Amino acid sequence: DTGVSQNPRHKITKRGQNVTFRCDPISEHNRLYWYRQTLGQGPEFLTYFQNEAQLEKSRLLSDRFSAERPKGSFSTLEIQRTEQGDSAMYLCASSIGTSGRSTQETQYFGPGTRLLVL
Amino acid sequence: DAKTTQPNSMESNEEEPVHLPCNHSTISGTDYIHWYRQLPSQGPEYVIHGLTSNVNNRMASLAIAEDRKSSTLILHRATLRDAAVYYCTSRSGTSYGKLTFGQGTILTVHP
């Protein structure tokens, strides 16, 4: 079990550029979550995948954000036309879910990708 | 989504017990309470979770109030490596298990 991995760990970009982050969940985990965390705050939910299907999106996920999980394995989060307000830590988590709305299973987080938009 | 409230910060001495409180008065009856901790520049790390009964694992104990409006994470003997931000979270049963985090408690452990 190698844990959840995220790449890159750090990204510096200029305002207006597009960026893409990758998350590799723990193998066999069918659920994948993206969160965003700004300095001094707890993580905030962005979106959720069950296998390859994106089943829930937060209102925080503006039109400039898009996430995919082709084939139900790794996931990518893309931000288009980045803004300085997008600067944050982007966290990915995965879990095994056996029922649609279980609240018991543990989510395992990756180390995050820290984005700085200049 | 249930809201959780925690003290901003707490301090402890090494090898002493630490009790980290959390209020979650709006939690629904089927939502589990999960605790995570986060070290600087790392993702949150799972600590413990429970529904109604008190829970123990190798890391900590979780005491849940009978009315489920509050819970307390207990570190039996704090070490310097326990210094972190501790988050009490709930998982929404009306959603697909997303975690709702508050601001967390910054735990400082003094040698």
Question: pLDDT at position A104, please?
Answer: 75
At CB < 8 A and 24+ separation, what contacts does B73-77 make? B73/B19, B73/B20, B73/B22, B73/B35, B73/B47, B73/B48, B74/B17, B74/B18, B74/B19, B74/B20, B75/B12, B75/B17, B75/B18, B75/B20, B76/B17, B77/B15, B77/B16, B77/B17
Report yes or no: B17 at the A interface, CB cutoff 8 Å: no
Q: pLDDT higher for B1 or A115?
A: A115
User: Which of A41, A95, A102 comes nearest B103 by C-beta?
Assistant: A41
Chain B interface, mutation test: which of A47, A48, A103, A114, most B Cβ atoms within 10 Å?
A103
How many A-B residue pairs are in contact by the CB < 8 A criterion?
Answer: 78
Name A49's bridge partners: A32, A54
Indicate the pLDDT class of residue B39, thresholds 50, 70 and 90: very high
Question: pLDDT at position A41, please?
Answer: 92
Question: Looking at beta carbons, which residues of chain B come within 8 Å of A50?
Answer: 96
pLDDT tens, position by position, A90-117: 999 999 876 655 667 889 999 999 999 9
Q: Answer yes or no: is pLDDT of B58 > 70.
A: yes
